């Protein structure tokens, strides 16, 4: 069944930079039936951003980025049902044991609502500042996922990898969710990435947005899961339907408001391709908090429409 996520990036701009008021908006989404809330992660930016791998980077170096686990803990305290996620968290910049503890604690506090998206990062300066080698970051991220699952499952827990290793640790409390916290990876498309996801993850957050492009890629990923004896029907694929990452991370002032009705016309193809979650960033759809409740109402109506009759023509949104 289709799930709808909202991303919180840039929403503090609606309140003169007061991010605490953004949590009031999440309460509206929670009460209305939105499935997930997400936050993007960067610890810092270098003065000259020159190596962003996905086109134009739509943030200046002085754009505030709020630490996701801290924010999601605050969201957990103010909500009842919405799931808590990242899109994405730079796992290698955090010690594996600490990350396992933070996520398990968040899962306990939220009564089992955490679903984490992990990425390896692209900005070397962040790694240098954290004294973490930039080379090998993908291997570290994969070992983190495995090591965290061991810590969440076993007490005492032991793990021996190339980058992560420990013996006889009690890391309590464990997550509330049976089997631990679902982990999605933000990896580029390709056989190597799909093997990594099939071996270490529960889902994929691709950079691709087009259904025709995604369909064979998701089929390839599902085949990789089957080859490992895993159920492809449990695969989570989260996509931002705005068209491109550059647009999704931009602002209305830069490109004007997007059309939800035009986007809705593409959703059936995305669902047929295997997408299970659609992530919307309100900052590129509406221009302020007064329009936010209406936008959430439209997203929920969209979700309900495709839940009951995904093959039907798009009805007019409320």
Residue range 141-177, pLDDT digits in tens: 999 999 999 999 999 999 999 999 999 999 999 999 9
Residue 275's pLDDT is 96
Q: How far is CA 78 from CA 90, 177, 283, in A?
A: 25, 20, 21
Question: Rounded to the nearest 10 degrees, how much is the dihedral formed by the CA atoms of 207, 175, 103, 278?
Answer: 30
Q: How many other C-beta atoms are found inside a 10 Å radius of the C-beta of residue 7?
A: 23
Q: Name the percent of the chain in helix, strand, coil, to the closest 5.
A: 45, 15, 40
- Does position 66 have pLDDT exceeding 80, yes or no? yes
- Does position 18 have pLDDT exceeding 50, yes or no? yes
- Does position 274 have pLDDT exceeding 60, yes or no? yes
Q: Which residues contact 253 (CB under 8 A, 6 or more apart)?
A: none
pLDDT tens sequence across 191-238: 999 999 999 999 999 999 999 999 999 999 999 999 999 999 999 999
Tokens of 259: 């059309």
Among 128, 139, 145, 38, which residue's Cα sits nearest to residue 83? 38
Q: How many other C-beta atoms are found inside a 10 Å radius of the C-beta of residue 299?
A: 25
* Phi/psi of residue 297, nearest 5 degrees: -60, -40
Tokens of 132: 């973490």
Topology of the domain comprising 3-308: TIM Barrel (3.20.20)
């Amino acid at each position: 069944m289709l799930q709808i996520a909202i991303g919180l990036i840039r929403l503090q701009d609606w309140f003169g930079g007061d991010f605490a008021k953004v949590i009031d908006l999440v309460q509206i989404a929670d009460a209305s039936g939105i499935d997930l809330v997400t936050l993007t992660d960067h610890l810092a930016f270098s003065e000259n951003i020159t190596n962003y791998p996905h086109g134009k980077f739509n943030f200046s170096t002085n754009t505030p980025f709020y630490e996701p686990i801290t924010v999601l803990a605050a969201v957990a305290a103010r909500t009842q049902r919405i799931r808590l996620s990242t899109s994405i968290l730079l796992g290698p910049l955090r010690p594996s044991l600490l990350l396992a503890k933070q996520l398990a604690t968040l899962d306990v506090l939220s009564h089992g609502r955490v679903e984490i998206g992990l990425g390896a990062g692209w900005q070397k300066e962040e790694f240098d500042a954290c004294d973490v080698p930039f080379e090998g970051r993908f291997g570290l991220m994969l070992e983190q996922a495995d090591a965290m699952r061991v810590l969440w499952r076993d007490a005492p827990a032991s793990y021996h990898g190339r980058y992560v290793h420990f013996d006889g640790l009690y890391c309590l409390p464990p997550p509330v969710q049976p089997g631990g916290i679902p982990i999605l990876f933000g990896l580029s498309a390709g056989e190597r990435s799909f093997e990594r996801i099939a071996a270490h993850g529960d889902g994929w957050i691709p950079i691709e947005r087009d259904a025709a492009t995604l369909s064979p890629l998701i089929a390839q990923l599902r085949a990789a899961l089957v080859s490992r004896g895993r159920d492809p029907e449990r695969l989570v694929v989260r996509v931002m339907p705005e068209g491109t990452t550059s647009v999704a991370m931009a602002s209305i002032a830069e490109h004007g408001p997007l059309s939800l009705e035009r986007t809705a016309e593409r959703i059936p193809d995305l669902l047929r391709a295997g997408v299970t979650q659609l992530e919307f960033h309100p900052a590129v759809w509406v221009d302020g908090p007064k329009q936010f409740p209406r936008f959430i109402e439209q997203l929920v109506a969209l979700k309900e429409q495709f839940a009951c009759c995904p093959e039907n023509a798009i009805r007019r949104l409320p």
